[in-house]
Amino acid sequence: MVSHWLRVHPESVRSEPLNQHATSCNRSTRLAQQQLWLLIIEYKYICEEMSTLEKALKQLTSMPDKMTAVRSLQTLREYIGNVVDLPGEERFHEISTVSPTFLRYIQPVEGAREILHLLHFEQDGTSLRLNSHFHIEELQNCLRMIHDVCDSLLASAPELV
């Protein structure tokens, strides 16, 4: 996750020490400073990913057909929820892009497929496969966001219930 962020944002890597006295610091202090810097970079990356995810969710919910938006969110909830509930179950790491559900509620809906790509589902023939470098916490956070967005969409349009 951090390595991807560093490739996209190489300007964030510091070549100079974190402070003027870093050269006189002992090895454990330098290691702690490096770990702190990596945590800062990871935090920036996560914030950037969440911002992109929020944009994709907003795009999805702004479509005129609210019923399709709700069905799309529910489908995403099912896909992601299966991985969160059973992360070791390989069959949930793959989504068929030719299934009727995918073709109806994910493929044509702006933002839906982008959300899956943000969560590290990658095209693999006729399916999207979850990259082995996924983080369960990232999926859990996204699942919570999808739950909230879906609930608020249903609350704002009672006719959809």
State how many domains the chain has: 1
Burial class (CB in 10 A: 0-12, 13-18, 19+), 52: middle
pTM (predicted TM-score): 0.68
pLDDT of 19 > 80? The answer is: no
Q: Containing domain of residue 54, as a range?
A: 2-160
- Which region, left, alpha or beta, applies to residue 19 given φ > 0 means left and ψ of -120 to 50 means alpha? beta
Q: What's 22's domain CATH number?
A: 1.20.58.2190
Q: Which residue has the tokens 């509930």?
A: 85
Q: List, for residues 98-135, the tens digit of each pLDDT value.
A: 999 999 999 999 999 999 998 999 999 999 999 988 88
Tell me: the pLDDT tens digits for 70-98? 999 999 999 999 999 999 999 999 999 99
Can you read off the two tokens belonging to residue 23?
A: 């050269």
User: Which residues on adjacent β-strands are paired with residue 122?
Assistant: 129
pLDDT at 15 over 80: no
Cβ(15)–Cβ(104) under 8 Å?
A: no
**pLDDT of the residue at 54:** 86
Choose among 106, 100, 98: nearest CA to 72.
Answer: 106
